[in-house]
Amino acid sequence: MSKKHNFSAGPCILPQEVFEKSAQAILDFNGIGLSILEISHRSKDFVPVMEEARAIVKRLLKLGDDYEVVYLGGGASLQFLMVPFNLMKAENGKAAYLDTGTWAANAIKEAKHLGQVDVVASSKDENYSYIPKNYTVGEGYDYFHCTSNNTIYGTQMKTFPDVPTSLVCDMSSDIFSRVLDFSKFDLIYAGAQKNMGPAGVTMVCVKKDILGKTGRNIPSYLDYSLHIKKESMFNTPPVFPVYATLLTLQHLENNGGIAAAEIRNEAKAKLLYGEIDRNPMFETFCKEEDRSLMNVSFKLTDESKKEEFDNAWKAAGINGLNGHRSLGGYRASLYNALPIESVQVLVEVMNSIK
């Protein structure tokens, strides 16, 4: 079967080069006569992969030596717990959270295990259809946590607040997709399975000077400082996911970095939102000003057209367009690796629904 147009929300499309190189590495890694799946993580063949996978993140985000990068297992969901373990003070710990969707709410839930959590603003009252804006983060918080992009609702933070504490951001679904001043953030984490690589590894990029200040005795696997000290080899890392992540980031670096990706992503989003705004058969779930460049969540204005539309996009070789089960409708994810040609095919299909 020929290649599909893959709009999956994650795990999602990666560059074809990543598939080809990583498949080859499984058969014979770098011509050493061994598979990437069977070599020691401490071998001279894999250690440079981990080193470069850590270094390339800092190059792409334009961060200096005051930041460290580690790769961990457990997904962003484990980071919901690790962030407060590492940043919330053991005595009278207190953190501020912005509630912009399901994943933000999940992060809030885990932080409550370790201390006081104040939700400074929430858009839950309108089913997360917008990004709250007029809120203040007061003094006395150990950190402020936000979620840059909300895959389910199709909203994205366009700016980030100035806060009088550490700024922590879950960038799982839009990291490496747009130019930001990443030095504004003290801790960024991201499950790899969108713009970074395949499922099975999570990247954490942290400003070193915010660690070690909680007075908390942190269990080993949950301790960022230990992972940093061990250069992301505290225990056996997810070797293949880290390697495929490196390939994905090398592909990004070789194709103009984040700035060039942003231009491509804006063109894809403009094309699709343009069709939604033009075509009375479709509408988005969220406020226009908060629309995500990564996940376009939309619905039919006339539900009786559902069968016709579903048959049409499936016939066009489109995959992964169903909306999240909690919201329904459709969701077109326009991650870095999705070519604009796939968006053109989708727009043509949408244009045919009258």
Q: Which of 57, 61, 63, 72 binds its own copies (CB under 8 A)?
A: 72
Q: Where are the alpha helices (DSSP H) in 214-255?
A: 224-229, 239-254
DSSP per-residue letters across 88-145: S-TTT-EEEEEE-SHHHHHHHHHHTTTSEEEEEEE-GGGTT-S---S----SS-SEEE
Residue 167, classed as helix, strand or coil, is strand
Residues 116/163, Cβ–Cβ less than 8 Å: no
- The pattern of x and - marking residues 240 through 279 that bind its own copies according to CB under 8 A reads xx--x-----------------------------------
Task: Extract the annotated binding site for pyridoxal 5'-phosphate.
Answer: 76-77, 103, 151, 170, 193, 235-236
Structure tokens at 232: 């992301």
**Cα separation of 72 and 236, whole Å?**
10
Structure tokens at 323: 């909306």
Told to judge if 194 belongs to the known catalytic residues of this protein, a careful annotator would answer: yes
> Is residue 339 a contact residue for its own copies (CB under 8 A)?
no
Write down the catalytic residue from 99, 103, 223, 290.
103
Residue 20, classed as helix, strand or coil, is helix
Count of residues in contact with its own copies, rule CB under 8 A: 68
- The pattern of x and - marking residues 37 through 66 that bind its own copies according to CB under 8 A reads xxxxx-x-----------------------
Is the Cβ of residue 26 or residue 267 nearer to its own copies in the bound state?
26
Is the Cβ of residue 75 or residue 339 nearer to its own copies in the bound state?
75
- The pattern of x and - marking residues 86 through 125 that bind its own copies according to CB under 8 A reads --------------------x--xx--x------------
> Is residue 141 a contact residue for its own copies (CB under 8 A)?
no
Told to judge if 103 belongs to the known catalytic residues of this protein, a careful annotator would answer: yes
Residues with Cβ within 8 Å of 38's Cβ and at least 6 positions away in sequence, in order, are none
**Cα separation of 153 and 331, whole Å?**
9
Q: Which of 134, 181, 215, 217 binds its own copies (CB under 8 A)?
A: 217
Write down the catalytic residue from 99, 174, 194, 290.
194
Shortest spacing between CB 319 and its own copies, in angstroms: 6
Residues 242/50, Cβ–Cβ less than 8 Å: yes
Told to judge if 313 belongs to the known catalytic residues of this protein, a careful annotator would answer: no
> Is residue 326 a contact residue for its own copies (CB under 8 A)?
no
In a 10 Å sphere around its CB, with 0-12 CB exposed, 13-18 middle and 19+ buried, how is residue 331 labelled? buried
Site of interaction with its own copies (CB under 8 A): 1-4, 6, 8-14, 18-20, 22-24, 26-28, 31-35, 37-41, 43, 72-78, 80-81, 106, 109-110, 113, 191, 193, 198-201, 217, 219-222, 234-241, 244, 317, 319-320
